[in-house]
Structure 1
């Protein structure tokens, strides 16, 4: 039994190529800054890590409860048209991300989508790609939709409504483009139900416990007591479903920790520091291009943190880093979460087939829309 548990925990780390790349990059960067090795724990945003672990556990708990199977069967019965079901799920992901943040929206939508793979012939891999794009497009609308907007909103001095009005043009264009692309990417065919779509009744006790712990955990996070919330969640699963603690994506946690460290090491390089000091001297187009480019290299949240010290937290920067969430998977942490949860190696290449056109389209649209809002 112990050997089986150890293999379940260790094997995913051994096969995670993205984690290996981040680890090797960190080792290479450390050769130039060996004195910073002792600072690695300080480089990590542990509140983000704790929040991510808690959400992973809770979403896995709901999955193990069997509720996604139950609701998935209901959805297939109500909407058995591939195009309409795709539009519904993509729209739901976008809507949820406007007020629940993009990562939380994914923890709700993607496990449900994966369940539909067992119940029907729905092309789940393609749908998850569109859901990842949807949370990026939807979350850019509001100050609380994603981490970079929270930071920009706090620094800008805008009211909640004023920030939404600032972001609305880019959000509307991005969402409209996404819905049109979804319409043409999923045919109006009737879904074929698979033989196992009857399933079993879900475990109500585990489901309700997960929902209750979700409320408690989010409350703890909002109160700055995320660690205590995580301990409560872990205790709950120790009593009700210990397999949850084993089966969550622990390598994803390691990926986020490695990314925090690698980004700080990159920023610590001498030539990078010199470039950062020159950001404030760039013309608007230079700032816009830099925000998008940095998002592609270090992700849009670190790019925002890096630029906001020398560039005003205005629409120019907000449009740049939000458009930069498209393109490479690393452009947004939500992309990484979605693609990792899909558990399909082929999805990484397929994602970029759709994401790069959205990067180009959003970047161009954002630049031409900026005159409509105050820069």
Structure 2
């Protein structure tokens, strides 16, 4: 049975790295689900253990945040922000800074994937209509969304996972991670502005023909109030997953937006991916091999509780199997990680996602949504900015985490 579990595990995470199996139209979510089903049918993880293998509170928090983000999108908030950004009476460089500030700021409170999904098409349209090359701004949007999301425990899926499994509190997490997140946003702006210098100038200063979408003020106020309530739940000892579900349920009560429409904006693929990977990693953990491997590494001085190990591990893993699967795997096999090391893992795994297009889901969403809007963003175009912005932001994050005593070198 151990051989079967190891084989399935290797194939699943190989699929995470490649993105799909050659010759088959099965993506990362399908690969993970297929692996979980095989292990369940083979009895690698008993029926009673199957249900407990999935961390439902994490899934509930993700679901609730996605529904809250759907409320903002249906209220027209994301589209309004995107068009207002493109219309701002600013120089191209100042506009780039504003894109970074807005994208990163929104992503710190709302799910970064949803932010870039909603903003990319209208931002593309506004920039093209203004006569600007949309590509540097899209690179900045993706980079800022990843960087800004590192600041809070609800900024992205991997942070939510780390916060839940590590039992971390909202405010200490913010105190530890906000500064490196802001520094990373500065790195994103400085890198893109430097790499694209001389190519941000206006090609056509004619007025924008694009009008911002109408804001539904009632539903926007409802979303803002729900966000405040949500932050209260995360900032107090109250049960977080129950609070998030209560807020999400309140969002579904609407006279204008059908529940089907709101739930249609939920990233069900990501939730299924999480659930399936929980099962796959739980089956591996039952073999005892991961615990023995971590113990061996710790005895050899290579435990992932130091920056010299955690930084390269995050960088490599996030850009091969992806930061979400990498964090989930590490959290499943890492016994009793120190709180400071969890802060470092959240920051470093998130910032590492900016290195290459495949490093984070937000990057891929921006590329796909931009392509649908007629703007092509290539792998190397992103990498020319992604590599320096990532390495510089990680260096600053390491310095901060070490100087504040959160984790040793």
**What TM-score do the two structures reach when normalised by structure 1?**
0.69
Note the alpha carbon deviations across 1:39-82, whole angstroms, 9 max, x for none.
Answer: 33323332332233333233333333334444444333324544
Distance 1:181 1:31, change over 3 A: farther
Tell me how far 1:241 sits from its aligned partner.
Answer: 1.0
Pairing 1:335–2:360 present: yes
Distance 1:73 1:259, change over 3 A: same
What is the Cα-based RMSD across aligned positions, in Å? 4.7
Give 1:70-149 correspondences, 5 Å limit: 70-79=80-89, 81-96=91-106, 100=109, 103-104=110-111, 107-108=114-115, 111-121=118-128, 127-140=137-150, 146-147=159-160
Structure 1: distance between partners of 2:178 and 2:219: 39
Flag structure 2 segments of 5+ consecutive residues without an equivalent. Answer: 1-23
Pairing 1:197–2:210 present: yes
Match of 1:61 among 59, 68, 71: 71
Pairing 1:20–2:20 present: no
Note the alpha carbon deviations across 1:84-118, whole angstroms, 9 max, x for none.
Answer: 323212123334556x3xx5455456523432223
Question: More deviation in 219-228 or 338-347?
Answer: 338-347
Tell me how far 1:152 sits from its aligned partner.
Answer: 10
Distance 1:177 1:43, change over 3 A: same
Q: 3-state DSSP class of the match of 1:278?
A: helix
Q: 3-state DSSP class of the match of 1:55?
A: helix
Distance 1:206 1:20, change over 3 A: same
Pairing 1:211–2:224 present: yes
Distance 1:22 1:115, change over 3 A: same
Structure 2: distance between partners of 1:266 and 1:205: 49
Distance 1:350 1:303, change over 3 A: farther
Whichever structure has more helix as a proportion of its residues is: 1
Pairing 1:249–2:267 present: yes
Q: 3-state DSSP class of the match of 1:41?
A: helix
Note the alpha carbon deviations across 1:164-198, whole angstroms, 9 max, x for none.
Answer: 4x985x55764443222121355322276797513
Q: Is the Cα contact below 8 Å between 1:292 and 1:320 reproduced in 2?
A: no
Match of 1:322 among 337, 341, 347: 347
Q: Is the Cα contact below 8 Å between 2:32 and 2:273 reproduced in 1?
A: yes
Pairing 1:188–2:213 present: no
Q: 3-state DSSP class of the match of 2:350?
A: coil
Structure 1: distance between partners of 2:174 and 2:78: 37
Tell me how far 1:286 sits from its aligned partner.
Answer: 4.4
Q: Is the Cα contact below 8 Å between 1:57 and 1:248 reproduced in 2?
A: yes
Distance 1:20 1:205, change over 3 A: same
Match of 1:229 among 247, 252, 262: 247
Structure 2: distance between partners of 1:109 and 1:36: 40
Question: More deviation in 195-204 or 273-282?
Answer: 195-204
Tell me how far 1:351 sits from its aligned partner.
Answer: 9.1
Provide the aligned length of Structure 1 versus Structure 2. Answer: 352
1:261 maps to which residue? 279
Flag structure 1 segments of 5+ consecutive residues without an equivalent. Answer: 1-13
Structure 1: distance between partners of 2:214 and 2:181: 40
Structure 1: distance between partners of 2:167 and 2:265: 37
2:298 maps to which residue? 280
Pairing 1:240–2:256 present: yes
Give 1:274-313 correspondences, 5 Å limit: 274-281=292-299, 282-283=301-302, 284=306, 285-286=308-309, 289-290=312-313, 292-293=315-316, 297=321, 299=324, 301-302=327-328, 305-306=331-332, 309=335, 311-313=337-339
